[in-house]
Structure 1
Amino acid sequence: MERKEFLKRGFSALGLAAIIPVISCSKDTVDPADTSTEAGSTPGSCTLTASETAGPFPTKSPASLVSNDITSDRPGAKLNVKITIQNKNNSCEGLEGALVDIWHCDAAGNYSEYGGTGMQSTNYTNLHFLRGRQTTDASGLVTFTSIYPGWYSGRATHIHVHIYNASGKSLLVTQIAFPEEISKVVYAQGAYASHGQADTTNARDNVFGDGVSTEMSTVTGNVSAGYELTHAIVVNA
């Protein structure tokens, strides 16, 4: 089954089994001069966030991938990822001790741990790049060092996130969206150039097509110095 067909057929138990109401606070603005966008928590502006599918390439053994730097050997623009988990049931205070797994594709649109099939022809079944787990600190923050995600047919740029409480109970499966203006700049050069520009916008994406206001990240920086992504997710814990 091709990835595009998987997306068209909808999202079964892979991601929907973990749907739990979550809220995320975001505001989106774009400044073309420095190719950055601002989105983040604003008191009183929290809205329910859509839970999303884990997709066809979830991490198989996340507990074995506890790592801050998940880059491995993958080339691409440096990306520092900062995700804050907040607890709605505690006045949106930071949730300490939450387990946060993230994973995304490389500059060519391929995932580790999978391959050799119609879903992904390149075989990376024995590699584990661009996947990692961290535990939130007292302020609910986790950080990762990675590369700016690439893209693949039928999907806009994104990062997958799965959040658990300290006991391992699933709280949310979701995805993080990226500002298209920055992605266009990144995809025009370096390891991304041969793959070209993304063929799907956020608006036409099968996951984000219903809106990205609650999943849009803040991304600042530039290709030479690298980028920083910040995103806040509020869960019922």
Structure 2
Amino acid sequence: MTEQGTAHEPKHKQDLTRRKVVAVGAGAVVAVGVGGTVATGAFAGDTGAADATATASSSAGACYKLTSETVEGPYYIDADKIRQDITEDQEGIPLTLTLKVIDADTCKPVRNAAVDVWHCTALGVYSGYESVGNGGGGGAPSGAPTDAPSGTPTDVPSGTPTGEPPSGGPGGGGGGHVEPTDDERYLRGTWKTDKHGTVTFTSVFPGWYQGRCVHIHVKVHVDGAWTDAGYEGGHTCHTGQLFFAEEAVLRTEDVAPYSANAVTRTTLTEDTIYPQNGAEGGLLTLKYNKNRISKGVRAALTLGVTPDETHEG
């Protein structure tokens, strides 16, 4: 495709390296994405997998930008469910999440990586930790404690406010890992990236809990092996969180079961984990009908990672 135009081009333009050509191409895709994937647009119910992949590619900007590393949070359960549909019996607005994983240095897709995602319910509860509740607001299990889990560190990573985290919240931010308190595993899953570096999950739009904005946790594992038992070995090259634009979240507040969540919601700009740097920091590109968000949301993002590095969060 590029060879056809070289005969009439100046010599200095013919000498573009492949890497520069890829960068120019990525910029062109971004320009399309900016004009066509705004959250207030109509829900693209008839778009196919190719469109979803293109949306994911457009949302990260130049492929050289690394996606921000963030904390793992206390409620990660390692590769427990190998599946794409993580909904189980949870109620909420249907969510299709498409992630494309690329090497931030070469722009090439990262194939056969294991991508973990996990998030809370519409009422702010994490599976495996139901007894923790969501900070005392709507949807917390009966009798759920209103204080932080026993043994949870009271300090947080450098650069965020010091002191105790908000009372009662699962605290998907700082602190060490907390052992699961039950066997539930809804809204958690791991799946393999395809030859394009793409993976898609089906879930529900996350809710919120005390002290955090609406988000999804994500990890990318590479250099391991896929076996009958799942994914084994390798290392974690990215640990991050995915975030939702305020406009979309506001539209969920009047939709059941989100409307029953009585916890005061932390906004995107108030959140101490979100880096406030757009797609590079994990801000998803969203597609939905602004008047009927209950029909579903499509979310996409390109994750720029460094496969040779380890980032456990």
Say yes or no: TM over 0.5: yes
Are the aligned partners of 1:107 and 1:150 in contact in 2 as well (CA < 8 Å)?
yes
1:85 aligns with 2:109: no
Instruction: Compute the RMSD of aligned alpha carbons.
Output: 2.7
Give the alignment's TM-score, normalised by structure 2: 0.60
Aligned to 2:119: 104
1:156 aligns with 2:213: yes
Deviates more, 1:215-224 or 1:189-198: 189-198
Deviates more, 1:199-208 or 1:47-56: 47-56
Q: Partner amino acid for 2:89?
A: D
Q: Partner amino acid for 1:157?
A: V
CA distance in 1, matches of 2:287, 2:211: 25
CA distance in 1, matches of 2:72, 2:124: 16
Q: Return closer, same or farther for 1:184/1:65 CA change in 2, 3 Å cut-off.
A: same
Alignment of 1:141-180 (within 5 A): 141-167=198-224, 168-180=234-246
Q: Select which of 109, 115, 119 maps to 2:130.
A: 115
1:49 aligns with 2:106: no
1:88: Cα distance to partner? 2.4
1:73 aligns with 2:92: no
Give the alignment's TM-score, normalised by structure 1: 0.78
Q: Return closer, same or farther for 1:33/1:52 CA change in 2, 3 Å cut-off.
A: same
More helix by share: 2
DSSP-derived class of the 1:183 partner: helix
Question: Can you give the 5+ residue segments of structure 2 that lack an aligned partner in the other structure?
Answer: 1-26, 45-54, 145-180, 225-233, 308-313
Q: Return closer, same or farther for 1:179/1:46 CA change in 2, 3 Å cut-off.
A: farther
1:231 aligns with 2:307: no
CA distance in 2, matches of 1:118, 1:226: 26
Aligned to 1:4: none
**1:181-210 deviation digits (Å, cap 9, x = unpaired):** 011111211211111586211111010155
Q: Partner amino acid for 1:126?
A: D
Are the aligned partners of 1:202 and 1:212 in contact in 2 as well (CA < 8 Å)?
no
CA distance in 2, matches of 1:33, 1:141: 23
Question: Can you give the 5+ residue segments of structure 1 that lack an aligned partner in the other structure?
Answer: 1-24
User: Size of the alignment, in residue pairs?
Assistant: 208
**1:93-129 deviation digits (Å, cap 9, x = unpaired):** 1110111000000000000011324876637722100
1:139: Cα distance to partner? 0.1
CA distance in 1, matches of 2:186, 2:222: 24
CA distance in 2, matches of 1:35, 1:206: 30
1:50: Cα distance to partner? 2.1
1:136: Cα distance to partner? 0.4
Q: Return closer, same or farther for 1:101/1:80 CA change in 2, 3 Å cut-off.
A: same
Deviates more, 1:201-210 or 1:124-133: 201-210
Q: Partner amino acid for 1:219?
A: L
